[in-house]
Structure 1
Amino acid sequence: MSHDEAFDSNDAAHRVPLRLDYLFTSHPQTHVINEVGSNRAPAETCTIGAKDDLEAINAWLIEHRESGPTLRSYRKEIERFYNWLVLIQHKSLGGVTPDDIDAYDLFMTAPPDTWCGPRYGRRKTKRWRPYEDALSAKSRSQAKIILRACFSYLVAVRYVVGNPIPLERPTRKRAAGERSDGLRERHIPLPAFRKLIQALEQQAAAPPSQTARPIAAAERQLFVVRFLANTGLRGEELAKANMSDIACEEQPSTRRSYWTMSVGRGGAFPRKIAVNSTALEALRRYRQVYETDNSFFGESSPVLLPLSGRRTPPRFLSAQMVYAISMEALKIASLHYASSDAQTSALLAKATPHWFRTTFATIAAQCGIAQDVIQRQIGVSSLQQSVAKYPDADPIELFDMVAKLKL
């Protein structure tokens, strides 16, 4: 039985498709997934009931199924590592040692040609290869961070006893723009963000062509940037949002009404976020340009529409499409300031859509908003721990905080 076939035996509703079959026709070591290894915890202590490595890997990935980019990145790295572990080291997860991690790091610096393929089309049947080329030091470090996260999960659920990947501690001097915790700040300062909006507004007012499609594209770019930055949403959360998710609610304690949005229903971190007047204005303008109903209650159409407008049945865009729209907006604004403001142009050229979330969080923190309030709004990956640490976060404070930002 191949790895894919073994994996397909899991419940299809709780499964993340993997490619763990690289070169299995010439390297039939599939039996290693059932070998225990010296680091494997006793089966009776495992809290997820995983019978083998594939089920354990799947359980870890399912934890991140609501975050598209994170899931894709984690799946890619565990696919690469597990293929290497089986085919080169002939081991299971329970047999991994720190020496194996060192060997894998060396392997990533120069994977054999038989392990490499062109970036596009690598995942096609019989043509898939785990790598495009050798990985840079930064990419190898990121791969080990992800693998360490996987093993940390496996330790927590008692599938393995210990984490074989040591925690990497930075030894270099702190670089300019880097926080004291070693993480580089990546956000758009408020003056630069306002310039970004100005450039997109000008683009929407005078697109290259006055036909409907360029106007719709420009308005959609403006909306996506303004809405993401004013709510702290992930791109995939915007892609999945319904108009009916947005509602005006009265808080009994203040007798004031607030606009809210339900996010992540059925996912790992469902929550209700605040929607400020700037985000609402952006949404209403966008829907008006698309000649679509601005109503909310009972309105089942997606918040983010295709360029052709509303369809029946409604068609939701993908998270990848939201990413592409955001990147195009950043590119347009960067080119807009190329000759008049080189600093802003350079900043926007290196920015990514994730920066809209960090911009929201950073500006909120600069305004003195408590960490737990910000975390509840943006739904960070450590939300469960944050809620346990800050059990008394006031939803009214959340609504008032978001209302003040107006990015």
Structure 2
Amino acid sequence: MRKHEASLGSIYTGNYVPSPTQLELLGVGQNEYMVPIKHAKAPDWLDGSAGINRDHRFNFISAQNDLEAIRAYLDRFSDKPHTLRSYTKELERFLYWCVLEANKPLSSVLVTDCEAYKAFLKRPSARFVGDRAPRSSTRWRPFSKEPLSPASQLHAIVVIRSAFAYLVAVRYLAGNPWLAVKDPVVVKKVHEMQIDKALSRDLWDEVIDRLTERCELPENSQDRIALAMMLLLGDSGLRREEAAGAMRNALKPNKWAYDAGQLTVIGKRNAERIVPVSPRTLDALRAHWIDRGLDFDTVDQPVPLLAPLIIPQHQGAIERHATPNVVGYTGDSLYRLFQATLKRLKFDPDAIEGFTSEQFNELESASPHALRHTWGTLAVEDGMPLDVAQAIMGHQSPSTTAIYVQAKTKRILEEGAKYFAKRGEKKDGHKPSSRCPSTR
């Protein structure tokens, strides 16, 4: 927009900064903004170089201050983007609380400070809270306006405690004050997974049908990417990070189905597993590869199955995709692709007729992970043995996969209740009583 300011008119950019490289100061006192930890620099008296909890022996990571120590810890997760993102967020928040609220370096916090931060997580101060904003914006804040759930508070404390344990082990810190802090009380859910967000069979089929129709138009290359992505998630049960990291040389012909495939993926805990790939997924991938100028059937190299055709014009994306077809999507970019695709479908005048109002509501809360739950739910409904579904989904415990059986049971009982209600209305001409029948 700034590039075309001459024709668009004056563009207000007061809430933004041109580049993250300019964010080198951590706002203390006079400054009202905060910056992501990657670009932060604390004042000397708060940087932790003289923290009271510093181990005075030679530390194994050679960190001179708290920022360097935290970055050294986070570097351990560079090959796990989801974990890195989560841990960065929690350590970023705690470091800024130490500097801005407690007015002391992270390497000087005591047990009482840790207890104070535990209370702070329940209700962060106003300057820490804001609307969602890019990390390169001066509007960015460590916390969103939605309060943290007890489970999220517990996660924050576990992450920080683990980081302190590491810093003690490498002799940056002398002790871990978090060991004396009790975890928040969290009511444990019977089932952690939100499988109720799985798409119904009719909606899943409708989404794929509408998207397939859009793919027939030559100009709709983004829809062809989206169709291949959705089928990898919904026909093979992949997580979005697994789909983003899937490579062509890991996809082989299925020995027991000539028109299908088998894909080797690396999932959670670096566990390798093989998932089936449907014929329609292979067809969608072929169409996407034609848009990329590649022959899907002749390549057997570590080339990403999914890769963007349109590169965002910011420096990070340009550098990442300097050589076409070498680097694929990230998990986050697949999420954005998913959301953009649903938006196109919901506002497509040709596709809108295929969705009911209930299905539109279903799509409002849909996410890429919902397609993994969709696969699990439909596979169990169709009679797939639980041990097979467990192996395909990469669950450690059979009890996790068994949740999809309970989802099937829940649906049976719900539909049965609807049937009984309709029968009652037809017979009596009014709605039946909601009272529980006598057990005598």
- Using a 3 Å threshold, how does the CA distance of structure 1 residues 53 and 378 change in structure 2: closer, same or farther? farther
Q: Tell me if structure 2 keeps the 8 A contact 1:301–1:314.
A: yes
CA separation of 1:130 and 1:375: change in aligned 2, threshold 3 A: farther
Question: Alignment partner for residue 84 of structure 1, among 89, 92, 97?
Answer: 97
Say which of 329, 336, 354 aligns to 2:341: 329
Evaluate the alpha carbon distance shift between residue 82 and residue 218 of structure 1 in structure 2; reply closer, same or farther with a 3 A threshold: same
Partner of 1:235: 240
- Compared CA separation, residues 151 and 88, structure 1 to 2 (3 A): same
Counterpart-to-counterpart distance in 2, 1:330 and 1:288: 23
Question: Deviation digits for residues 158-202 of structure 1, max 9, x if unmatched?
Answer: 75472735243239xxxxxxx733554332232221121122123
Amino acid at match of 1:316: V
Q: CA deviation at 1:238?
A: 2.8
| Inter-partner Cα distance in structure 1 for 2:378 and 2:76 | 29
Q: Distance in 1 between matches of 2:40 and 2:237?
A: 38
Alignment CA distance shift 1:164-1:189 (3 Å): farther
Asked if 2 retains the 8 angstrom alpha-carbon contact of 1:258 and 1:274, the reply is no
Aligned residue type for 1:82: L
Q: Residue 356 of structure 2: which of 336, 341, 351 is its match?
A: 341
Given that residues 243 and 296 in structure 1 are in contact (C-alpha distance below 8 angstroms), is that contact kept between their aligned partners in structure 2? no
Q: For structure 2, which runs of at least 5 residues remain unmatched after alignment?
A: 1-22, 25-35, 170-175, 312-320, 399-440
Secondary structure of the corresponding residue to residue 293 of structure 1: coil
Name 1:21's counterpart in structure 2. Answer: 40
SS of match in other structure, 2:253: strand
Count of equivalent residues: 337
Give secondary structure in 2 for the equivalent of 1:303. coil
Cα pair 2:237 2:392 within 8 Å, conserved: yes
Instruction: Give, in whole Å, the separation in 2 of the partners of 1:300 and 1:197.
Output: 28
Whole-angstrom CA distance in 1 between matches of 2:328 and 2:156: 31
Which of the residues 136, 155, 180 maps onto 2:146?
Answer: 136
Instruction: Answer with 1 or 2: which has the greater Rg.
Output: 2
**8 Å Cα contact 1:29/1:86 also seen in 2:** yes
Q: What letter matches 2:48 in structure 1?
A: H
**C-alpha separation between the residues in 2 aligned to 1:134 and 1:348?**
24
Q: Distance in 2 between matches of 1:96 and 1:123?
A: 34
Distance of 1:308 and 1:154 partners within structure 2: 38
> Contact between 1:155 and 1:163, CA under 8 Å: does it hold in 2?
no
Q: Report the TM-score, using the length of structure 2 for normalisation.
A: 0.60
Q: Deviations over 1:267-293 (max 9, x none)?
A: 951524223224333323433565631
- Asked if 1:148 corresponds to 2:178, the answer is no
Match for residue 187 of structure 2? 170
Mean Cα displacement is larger for which, 161-170 or 193-202?
A: 161-170
Would you say the 8 A contact 2:122–2:153 is kept in 1? no
Percent identity among equivalent residues? 20
The alpha carbon displacement at 1:116 in A equals 6.2
User: Structure 2: how far apart are the matches of 1:57 and 1:28?
Assistant: 17
Q: Which has the higher contact order (CA 8 A, sep 6+)?
A: 1
| Runs of 5+ consecutive residues of structure 1 not aligned to the other structure | 6-16, 172-178, 381-385, 391-407
- Tell me, yes or no, if the aligned pair for 2:131 and 2:145 is still in contact at 8 Å: no
Question: How far apart are the structure 2 equivalents of 1:28 and 1:189?
Answer: 57
Closer, same or farther: CA 348–58 of 1 in aligned 2, 3 Å: same
CA distance change for structure 1 residues 111 and 306 in 2, over 3 Å: closer, same or farther?
same
Contact 1:20 1:83 (C-alpha < 8 Å) held by counterparts: no
Compute the TM-score of the two structures, normalised by the length of structure 1. Answer: 0.64
Distance of aligned partners of 1:308 and 1:58 in 2 relative to their CA distance in 1, 3 Å threshold: closer
**Match of 1:181, SS?**
coil
Aligned residue runs from structure 1 range 4-403, under 5 A: 18-19=37-38, 21=40, 24-25=42-43, 28-31=45-48, 34-36=51-53, 57-58=70-71, 61-62=74-75, 64-89=77-102, 90=104, 92=106, 95-97=110-112, 99-105=115-121, 108=124, 110-112=125-127, 115=128, 119-120=132-133, 122-123=135-136, 127=138, 130-131=141-142, 135-137=145-147, 139=148, 141=150, 143-151=152-160, 153-154=162-163, 160=176, 162=179, 164=181, 166-170=183-187, 180-181=190-191, 183-185=193-195, 186-205=197-216, 210=217, 212-213=218-219, 215-248=220-253, 259-264=261-266, 269-278=270-279, 279-288=281-290, 292-295=294-297, 298-307=300-309, 314-319=325-330, 320-335=332-347, 336-337=351-352, 340-366=355-381, 367=383, 369-370=385-386, 374=389, 376-379=391-394, 386=396
2:437 is matched with which residue? none
User: Shift of the alpha carbon at 1:298?
Assistant: 2.7
Cα offsets for 1:218-268 (capped at 9, x unmatched): 222211111222223333333333322212376xxx999984323349x95
CA RMSD of aligned residues (A): 4.6
Report the alpha carbon displacement of residue 360 of structure 1 after superposing the two structures with TM. 2.6
Which residue matches 1:396? Answer: none
Match of 1:405 in 2: none
Q: Distance in 2 between matches of 1:156 and 1:360?
A: 39
Deviations 1:104-126 (A, max 9, x none): 22551x323xx5677545446xx
**Counterparts of 2:356 and 2:333, CA distance in 1:** 29
Distance 1:87 1:376, change over 3 A: farther
8 Å CA contact 1:261–1:273 kept in 2: the answer is yes
